[in-house]
Amino acid sequence: MEPIIKVDNVSMCFNLSTEKHESLKEYFLALVQGRLHYDEFYALKNVSLDIMPGDFYGLVGLNGSGKSTLLKTIAGVYKPTTGKVTVNGTIAPLIELGAGFDMDLTARENIYLNGTVLGYSPKYIDEKFDEIVDFSELCNFLDVPLKNYSSGMVARIAFAIATITKPDILIADEILSVGDFLFQQKCEQRMHELMSGGTTVILVSHSIDQVERMCNKVAWLSHGDLKMNGDTATVCAAYKQAQREG
């Protein structure tokens, strides 16, 4: 069986300015005069892994380990500096809370806006509108601007829209951490339903218990390096041991 996602020797380098410029004019003067200096920062370093169809794949690691950068290279947000990512299927990304939304528009308007961004037609959104609202449990707040929503309420809308179809791949970056416990359970159930229909799920979570409960494979990232990947029990045990010793 071919991997649905193949990450082949991927590195991601960002140039960080070593100088502070007080204005855009100062920045462009420095650029023109060749006085801009950068430090190279590698968020990912030669990472390789295969994710198979139907995997529930977890990514663990401390803040700054490269988890979100890896997700963004898989989703096509970033192009790797070196290496290659091959994706064989459609992706529904839940990477940054609020991405694809206009916070000045109402929830009703944002359902159509975000659905269009994800490639759904207005007619299809019409058909699925009640299902989205029912899942998000926000029918009393549909005509309220999203800027007045809590982060948990935004997460409800985002998750409901992204999972109204069965994508080949669902990417969820800490999306469950902002919801209440009952909604987290509801999201977990929806993800398992998607998996039973063949969807591959990639989950980033700081809750190691959640990863152990939900994932069958785990990759552990540290400072951009892939420390370990494999079955959940083995990788999570090693990760927890390192945290205790660290």
Q: Rounded CA gap, 128 and 120, in Å?
A: 10
**Token duo for residue 223:** 């400072």
Q: Looking at per-residue confidence, does 27 or 79 come out higher?
A: 79
Task: Give the chain's mean pLDDT.
Answer: 87
Residue 112: is its pLDDT beyond 70? yes
Per-residue pLDDT at 232? 97
Per-residue pLDDT at 218? 97
- Does residue 145 contact residue 103 with C-beta atoms inside 8 Å? yes
Q: Span 5-90+167-245: which CATH code?
A: 3.40.50.300
Average pLDDT over residues 231-240: 96
Q: Where are the domains of the chain?
A: 5-90+167-245, 101-165
Of 85-89, 93-97, 101-105, 158-162, the poorest mean pLDDT is in 93-97
Is this structure's pTM higher than 0.85? no
In sequence order, which residues have a C-beta less than 8 Å from that of residue 155 and are 6 or more positions away?
97, 175, 176, 178, 179, 183
Helix (H, G, I), strand (E, B) or coil at 201: strand
Q: Looking at per-residue confidence, does 246 or 235 come out higher?
A: 235
CA distances from 53 to 110, 139, 224, 237 (A): 31, 35, 25, 25
Residue 156: is its pLDDT beyond 90? no
How confident is the model over 116-149, as pLDDT tens digits? 887 889 999 999 999 999 999 989 999 999 999 9
Of 92-96, 205-209, 234-238, the poorest mean pLDDT is in 92-96
Average pLDDT over residues 142-157: 90
Neighbours of 127 (CB within 10 A): 12
**Report for 14-23, 84-93, 176-185, 230-239: range of highest mean pLDDT:** 230-239
Average pLDDT over residues 98-118: 88
Residue 170: is its pLDDT beyond 80? yes
Neighbours of 118 (CB within 10 A): 18
Per-residue pLDDT at 159? 87
Per-residue pLDDT at 6? 97
Average pLDDT over residues 3-28: 77
